[in-house]
Amino acid sequence: MKICNTIREMRAACRAARAGGRRLGFVPTMGALHEGHLSLVRAARASCEVVVASIFVNPTQFGPQEDLAKYPRSFERDCALLEKEGVELLFAPAVEEMYPAGAGTWVTVEGLSDRLDGRSRPGHFRGVTTVVAKLFHIIEPDAAFFGQKDAAQVAIIRRMVRDLNFGVEVVACPIVREADGLAMSSRNTYLDTEQRKRALVLHRALMRVKKLWTGGERDAAKLIGVGREEIAREPMVRLDYFEIVDAEGLEPVNVVRDGALVAVAAWVGATRLIDNLVLGDVIYG
């Protein structure tokens, strides 16, 4: 696996990798890799001749009181995992490489960026879309692979790609969970044993809503009420939001139809976790 630290080097390596019309798949990450990330690499490998990944803890998507300084970093371990999965190229730039002094250009998807996590974390999605746009320009992938756990991020990036005419297919891959249902996340490492147990309430709340919806309930207010009620039973967990929205536009719905997104965010101790599910028969891609 070739590791590139500069934009110039990465661009040259990607152009060489695409020689002969080979399809290039891209998996952007912030490191601290787990099985969820590796599932994206495998999805890229299944449909692309060349797989490229990035590791970059993007400072612009963290708020001033958030966990940028303590965000888990395990670069050598991550490299070993990516190489084992057959990643050919890894882009691992410094912050100064991605954001040169005096940079003042941002990419913002208006409207969508203020919903779900964007409402709780002002400026977060502006940082996400700006760095992803930069990565797409540098790497020029044919397809980019993202996890459904960050459902709002997927919707926003898809809108950005459409609006700015990027020539990249955005592929969403299913959430990877622990055996007990907890969605895999790099931030799970912050949880102690008791908090880890309490965090399972996010998945339980989603499952209660799914069961009720499968039984025929379509009223969003009633379904949301059930989810919030389940979270409220866990005193160690503080709810940020529990919403049911249109999966593409992230707008709240009143009548919950097939394909609606049920999304939750909550603090377990000092750790903010997110989870979601799409109701009905889900076809990822």
**Where in the sequence numbering do the catalytic residues fall?**
37
- 100, with CB counted inside 10 A (0-12, 13-18, 19+), is exposed
Task: Say how far apart CA 63 and CA 263 lie, in whole Å.
Answer: 21
Q: Name the token pair of 203.
A: 């998945």
Axis-axis angle for helices 7-17, 124-139 (nearest 10): 50
The whole-angstrom distance between residue 209's C-alpha and the CA centroid of its chain comes to: 22
Provide the 10 A C-beta neighbour count for residue 155: 23
In DSSP notation, 180-204 reads TSPBP-GGGGG--HHHHHHTTHHHH
Where in 21-116 does DSSP place strands (E)? 24-29, 50-55, 89-91
Task: Say how far apart CA 112 and CA 153 lie, in whole Å.
Answer: 9
Q: Tell me the CA end-to-end span of the chain in Å, nearest whole number.
A: 27
Task: Say how far apart CA 3 and CA 218 lie, in whole Å.
Answer: 50
